[in-house]
Amino acid sequence: MKGIKSSMNRDLFGLIILIVLLISSEILEAAEERKILIINSDRTVTNYKIAHEEFKTGIGYPVMEIDLGKDSESEKNLTEIISKSKPDVIYCIGSRAYLFANKAAGKGNFIFTSIINWQRLPLTDKTFGIANELPPLMHLTLYRHIFPKITDIGIIYSNRYNREWVEDAVKSAKEVGINIIARQIENKDGLDDALQYIVPKAQAIWLIPDPAVISDRDSLMKIFDKSRKFKKPVYSYSDVYIDLGAAISISTDIQTMARQAAGLSRDILIGADIPERIQHPAGSYIILNMKNVMEYGVEINMDALESVNKIIR
């Protein structure tokens, strides 16, 4: 009797082990089956390449990759590859990648980064992403941190592209003790008058991405020439303006943006609750043009230097 009992116990134990093994192998298989696809608009673009590599490092799952800048496969073939592989998440770098993914796998979970003005994209209820632009309050907090004595900042903008953004900036500026002097123009014909009004009044000029204001190189040079004449520093949103004489550029940190995208992907895979489908970027990249700052005699906060990513002398 005792022998039978012990044999039954052994069988029961064996059965439990078998069930545990089966369940864990299913879990493992499920984890292994997770499919992440990266679609890059063009991997030869430095910022797209950085985002691609950082995402790949941070995601913790094997990834499939498509480079639209290089892949010789036709869009039709790539669409077929995507529909056969059925990825759980598609990470799209740049607008070309997003638009392609949207067309090729309309029902998928999409995460985008590196897209200027994402609001114009066709969005689905499974579109997630990181905006490419820092919110005005982040810019203003960082400007205030680096240039604590500058409290009057001028902006030239157009209602067509930036009315709401400027309203937000004016409101945010008050939170950090900054006064925004804004002047609206319809097109480049209004630029001279706007500069004449803004530059003498403001302590610094904030160059924002507005196609009606920066419509061509001449317009851009007018802004920099006027600010140089009045020794007013120009704040900018991109490093490309540093060579033209911008005193500072504050932009989104690409690596942080890709890490956020990797975090969003993991949240989607585990079915976590994601309250904000489109997030603000969490990291900033600051370039300080010391040559310009010294020339204009602008006072900087030395304690803020640890926040600066690159100093130009």
Partner 1 sequence: MGKNWIFLFFLFVTTMCLFTVITLSCPDIVSADKKTTIFFYNPEANINNFVSLKAEFDAYLFPLGNFQFQPVSSEQVFEGVIKESLSASEGDIFILSSWHFNVIKKRLSLEPSLIATIKGRATYEKILITKKDISEIKQLKGAAVASAGSEEYTIHLLKGLLGKGNEHIASSMRILKVPKDIDALMSVGFGMAQAAIASEFSLEKMSHLNSSQYNMFKQLVKTGDLLLPVVVVPKKQSPLRDRVIEILTGMGNADEGRSRLKMLGFDGWKPVEKAERRVLENEGN
Q: How far is the CB of 43 from partner 1 (least distance, A)?
A: 22
Q: How far is the CB of 141 from partner 1 (least distance, A)?
A: 5
DSSP SS3 for 104: helix
Interacting residues with partner 1 (CB under 8 A): 135, 137-138, 141-142, 144-145, 175-176, 253, 256, 259-260, 263, 266-267, 272, 275-276, 279-285, 302-303, 305-311, 313
If the CB atoms of residues 139 and 183 are measured against partner 1, the closer one turns out to be 139
Decide the pairing of beta strands 204-206 and 278-279.
unpaired
Q: How far is the CB of 255 from partner 1 (least distance, A)?
A: 8
Q: How many CB atoms lie within 10 A of CB 168?
A: 14
If the CB atoms of residues 42 and 152 are measured against partner 1, the closer one turns out to be 152
Q: How far is the CB of 190 from partner 1 (least distance, A)?
A: 33
Q: Residue 28 phi/psi, 5° resolution?
A: -60, -45
Nearest to 38 by CA among 88, 106, 107, 103: 88
Question: How far is CA 269 from each of CA 133, 179, 225, 239, 262, rounded to the nearest angstrom?
Answer: 26, 44, 52, 35, 11
If the CB atoms of residues 29 and 273 are measured against partner 1, the closer one turns out to be 273
Q: How far is the CB of 148 from partner 1 (least distance, A)?
A: 9
Cβ atoms 51, 42 nearer than 8 A:
no
If the CB atoms of residues 267 and 295 are measured against partner 1, the closer one turns out to be 267
Q: How far is the CB of 9 from partner 1 (least distance, A)?
A: 33
Q: How far is the CB of 110 from partner 1 (least distance, A)?
A: 19
Cβ atoms 91, 108 nearer than 8 A:
no
Token code pair at residue 7: 């044999």
Separation between Cα atoms, residue 224 and residue 226, nearest integer Å: 5
If the CB atoms of residues 236 and 279 are measured against partner 1, the closer one turns out to be 279
Strand order across the 248-252 sheet: 179-184, 152-157, 204-206, 234-236, 248-252, 284-289, 310-312
If the CB atoms of residues 183 and 259 are measured against partner 1, the closer one turns out to be 259
Using a 10 angstrom Cβ sphere, with 0-12 exposed, 13-18 middle and 19 or more buried, the burial of residue 256 is middle
Question: How far is CA 230 from each of CA 81, 233, 245, 264, rounded to the nearest angstrom?
Answer: 58, 9, 13, 46
Q: How far is the CB of 286 from partner 1 (least distance, A)?
A: 9
If the CB atoms of residues 223 and 281 are measured against partner 1, the closer one turns out to be 281
If the CB atoms of residues 12 and 311 are measured against partner 1, the closer one turns out to be 311
